[in-house]
Amino acid sequence: MHVFVSALLGGLLIGLAASLMMFLIGRVAGVSGIASKAIRNPRQQSWSLAFLLGLVIGTSFFHNLSGASAPQLDTSATLLIISGLLVGLGTRLASGCTSGHGICGLARLSSRSLVAVAAFMITAMVTVFLRFQG
């Protein structure tokens, strides 16, 4: 599948999932908030566990369907763990993650989400520039 087509389909499915979540259960599809709820109180948040499980199963399904090979990571496990912890810290400081702010927050015209997404994008551009400079 061409990368443009898979990106377009992925974006459409993400938008559909976020819309359905808002219309059906009145929740914003922010993955960090959903994960936090699932960890804090799994018995009362069965929908959040189902959502997270669906992310893993759906990703595996579409990866196998596409026939693409798994990406090769040449990064140490320690660096990946530190990176994950920093992302977690950032989502707490920003009161949400890229999916919550970028997909749901911007769709609701949230000024806080606009600032957060601008900060995410600027940080990403600076990081890529510094990482691949030279």
Kindly tell me if the per-residue pLDDT of 97 is higher than 80. Answer: yes
Shared-domain flag, residues 16 and 57: yes
Domain count, the chain: 2
Does pTM surpass 0.85? Answer: no
pLDDT digits (tens, 9 = 90+) for 114-125: 999 999 899 999
Shared-domain flag, residues 19 and 61: yes
Burial tier of 78 (Cβ tally within 10 Å: 0-12, 13-18, 19+)? exposed
Shared-domain flag, residues 131 and 113: yes
Q: DSSP 3-state assignment of 42?
A: coil
pLDDT digits (tens, 9 = 90+) for 68-82: 777 788 889 999 999
97: number of Cβ within 10 Å: 22
Shared-domain flag, residues 56 and 100: no
Please say whether the dihedral angle defined by the alpha carbons of residues 111, 18, 28 and 116, taken in this order, is positive or negative: negative
Q: Which domain holds residue 129?
A: 76-134
Among residues 53, 49, 47, 34, the alpha carbon closest in space to that of 104 is found at: 34
- Which of 32, 49, 67 is a domain's end point? 67
pLDDT digits (tens, 9 = 90+) for 4-61: 888 898 889 888 988 998 899 888 888 888 888 888 887 777 888 888 999 899 888 8
Shared-domain flag, residues 63 and 118: no
